[in-house]
Amino acid sequence: MTTKPKAPSPETALAISACIIEFAYLVDHGHATACETLFTEDAQLTFGPGTPKPGTLAGIAAIRAFLGAREAQAHVTTRHTMGNIRLHQRESGEVEAQSVLTLFRSETAVKPPTVTFIADIDELYTKQPSGEWRIKERLITPVFAHPA
């Protein structure tokens, strides 16, 4: 018999869920560089197999450069639809988060509603001395992908 994962407090769950949604909103509305504040200095952002450019960005400088490049793509319209958020608090106090991303993306003015992929998002959040929760690790793993 497995033990039930420890749920974080309602305040923690709300703060982390808000972070997940804020990331999607900022990227979708042309403010990707503002997402930098959602990550720890030593964060890792990993794009798993099936993403356009698999690999890991290690540290805030690499993540900042990635977010800047995304923000510069003003012609690209996206909508990151997040759902099925599941949280588990570790003994260390860190919180694991799993969610599902449905990504709509268009690079044309016509904006066809193309689902680029549906992916599992696995994250690790850590509480900062300021009291904010930040992303320490994020792994994006496509489950379904639109053929290129």
Q: What is the pLDDT of residues 51-106, one digit of tens each?
A: 989 999 999 999 999 999 999 999 999 999 999 999 999 999 999 999 999 999 99
Fold category of 10-145 in CATH = Nuclear Transport Factor 2; Chain: A, (3.10.450)
**Buried-exposed string 110-132: b where 16+ CB fall within 10 A, e elsewhere:** eeeeeebbbbebbbbbbeeeeee
CA distance 58 to 41: 9
> Beta strands 39-47 and 133-145: pairing type?
parallel
CA distance 13 to 133: 10
Sign of CA dihedral 49, 51, 53, 55: negative
In the sheet where 133-145 sits, what is the strand order?
55-58, 39-47, 133-145, 115-127, 95-106, 77-89
- What is the model's pTM? 0.93
Looking at the predicted structure, is the pLDDT value of residue 3 above 80?
no
Contact between residue 122 and residue 94 where contact means Cβ atoms under 8 Å apart: no
Give residue limits of the domains in the chain.
Answer: 10-145
